[in-house]
Amino acid sequence: MAKSEVAVAGVGLSKHVSKRRDVNIAELVWEAVSACYENAGLKPKDIDAFITGNMPAFEGVNLPEEWGAGHWGAYGKPLLRITTGGTTGGSVAHGGYYAVASGLYDTVLAIAFEKQSDGNSTAGLNTVAIADAAAQFALGVDPAFLAAFGGGAVGVAVYQASSYMKSSGCTTQHLDKVAALCRNNAALNPYSHLKQPGLTPEEVAKTVLLQHPIRFGHVCPATDGACAMLFTTGEKARRLVDKPAYVLSVASCSDEAAMVGIAGSGTTNVDPCTQESCKIAAARAYELAGIKDPRKEIDLAEPYAPFAHQMLMFYERLLLCDEGEAPAILDSGSMNLDGELPVCPSGGVISTNAIGASAMERVAECAQQIMGRCGERQVKKEVHKAVAHGWGGAVNLNVVAVLSDTPRR
Amino acid sequence: MAPNEGQSRVPRASIPFNPVFGWSVGNWMEQFFDGMKEGKILASRCPACGRVYLPPRMICERCFAKAEEWVELPETGTVETFTEAHVKLAPNGTFEDIDGPEIIAMVKHDGADTCIAARLEGGGVSVGMRVKAVLDPSAENVLDLLAGYRAAE
Ligand SMILES: [Zn+2]
């Protein structure tokens, strides 16, 4: 276990909208990066190393970091790209943590992004699914059928939603409620994509049913956007900002792989809503952070939830309550901005999904809530400890980070 | 089963896969194309070090400064390096002869610090050769606005 203190001393975000046709990839990401430099009061000369990532194949640009690095201040500096699917941004943040915690670098800029409007995200997802799909073809499954009905982002969520709802008692009304909660939070976030102030669960319930049980209103948009975070030593962070956000721990866990296996949205042989690897990663992260009872000690959660049921499912898998309790906790109002344990105060992935950046934006929101920089969406309670999560890989990887307003003792 | 025998028994399937990409050229290149439509060659200059970028780019990577000073460059420049293509790739993956050698030259415009790659019309290319841009402001496709280069008088 690393002994050194690691802290976030700056966060920068670009505008997040569906189509940024006015800028190219390098220029879009520059917006987040330059905001982060400004935010931390640093210049590229102060950065020791750069870590970046986005989804492979989505924009059809391989090695986008080699194109953009100079636009982000990395000229003449060490550069590393990390790409792990939906978890990419979380993994990039973990990379920033590792680089500082290891003592190899003092100050690291972590950058994650996606410019979905340049490419074809469904094609990109299909390239992720190939390994598992190949086995299905050998059994005589028609590839065209899989591509049209089994694949795509909704395809990996619907089976999971059905099994989660069965096991937890979560109803479609709960899904509507989650969507309304998140989109209302997003309306207070200048960097969110889908802002729907005043949206009600009843309005969500009227949106088109895409694939049972998921309605249009339960699904994330496709977003162009970028996020940058400055990781540095606790000592340096205290010099740079009044209130740094300390990263107490990171943990990840890889489960069995399967895109279109029996379960369709998790692993081949188990129920896709169990997410055992999330529980393992969360338990490990809390242990490393010195947290004994996450239900009492965690003040805020940013689970990765592009689909409504996932906010409740991952709340449970992050060990913040017993399994099956999350729907009732949602009903109690505890997850609201003024609640006991606010969830997705940023508006969540369901409101903004620049895929490669999304899992980092969970960490960034936790950091900014701790730093007290969230403006209108700043949660009412004081945030001492927060948990950020990402879900991705070949839908079998979970990443967790725990942040705090005080360094680890 | 003999080694590799299984290969002949494996059915082959194709996956429908027709992704369409549409990359934004970016704000700086849009301004370059807008200039081209008026017959102007616009480059961006770094306010910190004075480096002049053609094609233009937003950030001077050496200074991390926004290269937002625009300068109009003359149509003339110098060939820094070149190649002559003698064959092209046919759709079936084999080489095919082309009518005459095609010259691709790296041209540094007078006043620029970077090169632009384009076709050189006419023969007799050499490093250090003086060339002039051939503009086609009426071209439908912005990528054809700069048709190429030819020898300057
Ligand atoms: Zn410069």
- Nearest CA of chain A to the CA of B130: how many Å? 30
Instruction: Return the percentage of chain A with pLDDT > 70, whole number.
Output: 89
**Residues contacting residue A350 through CB under 8 Å, at least 6 positions apart:** A178, A179, A182, A183, A218, A219, A220, A305, A306, A307, A308, A311, A344
Confidence of residue B92 (pLDDT cuts 50, 70, 90): confident
- Average pLDDT score, chain A: 91
Specify the pLDDT at position A343: 98
At residue A170, the pLDDT reads 98
Q: Read off the pLDDT of residues B36-67 as tens digits, 9 standing for 90 and up.
A: 999 999 999 999 999 999 999 999 999 999 99
Question: pLDDT tier at A226 (50, 70, 90 boundaries)?
Answer: very high
User: Is residue A325 over pLDDT 90?
Assistant: yes
- Look at residue A1 in the predicted model and tell me its pLDDT: 46
Say what the ipTM of the complex is: 0.87
End-to-end CA distance of chain B: 74
Task: Kindly tell me if the per-residue pLDDT of A201 is higher than 90.
Answer: yes
Q: What is the rounded distance in angstroms from the CA atom of residue A232 to the CA atom of residue A106?
A: 5
pTM of the model: 0.93
Q: Which residues of A touch B16 (CB under 8 A)?
A: 143-144, 147
- If you search the block for the tokens 């393992």, which residue do you land on? A280
Residue A19, chain B, CB below 8 Å: the answer is: no
Residue in B7, B15, B63 to test binding to A, most A beta-carbons within 10 Å: B15
Rounded-to-integer distance, Cα A29 and Cα A69, Å: 10
Q: Check whether A152 has a pLDDT greater than 60.
A: no
Q: In what order do the strands lie in the sheet with A224-233?
A: A79-81, A49-53, A107-115, A224-233, A6-13, A245-254, A397-404, A385-392, A300-302
State the sign of the Cα–Cα–Cα–Cα dihedral A190, A195, A199, A202. Answer: negative
What lies within 8 Å, CB to CB, of B3 at 6+ separation is none
Would the CB atoms of A71 and B61 count as touching at under 8 Å? yes
pLDDT at residue A342, as a whole number: 98
Rounded mean pLDDT, A224-231: 98
DSSP conformation class of A240: H
DSSP-assigned letter for residue B8: G
What is residue A125's predicted lDDT score, i.e. its pLDDT? 73
Task: Characterise B51 by phi-psi region: left (phi > 0), alpha (psi -120 to 50), beta (else).
Answer: beta
Across the interface, whether the CB atoms of B16 and A147 are under 8 A apart is answered yes
| Tokens linked to A362 | 């969970």
Q: Is the dihedral of CA A189, A192, A198, A202 positive or negative?
A: negative
**Is A251 within 8 Å of A288 (Cβ atoms)?**
yes
pLDDT of residue B15: 66
Condensed to tens digits (0 to 9), the pLDDT of residues A263-315 reads: 444 455 567 888 999 999 999 999 999 999 999 999 999 999 999 999 999 99
What's the pLDDT at A300? Answer: 98
Q: What pLDDT band is residue A132 in, cutting at 50, 70 and 90?
A: low
Over 90: is that where the pLDDT of A137 sits?
A: no
Judge: A27–B20 Cβ closer than 8 Å, yes or no. no
Q: Which of A16, A45, A44, A41 is nearest to A31 (CA)?
A: A16
Average pLDDT over residues A26-52: 97
The domains found in chain A, sorted by start residue, are 6-119+220-404 (3.40.47.10)
Q: Does A70 touch chain B (CB under 8 A)?
A: yes
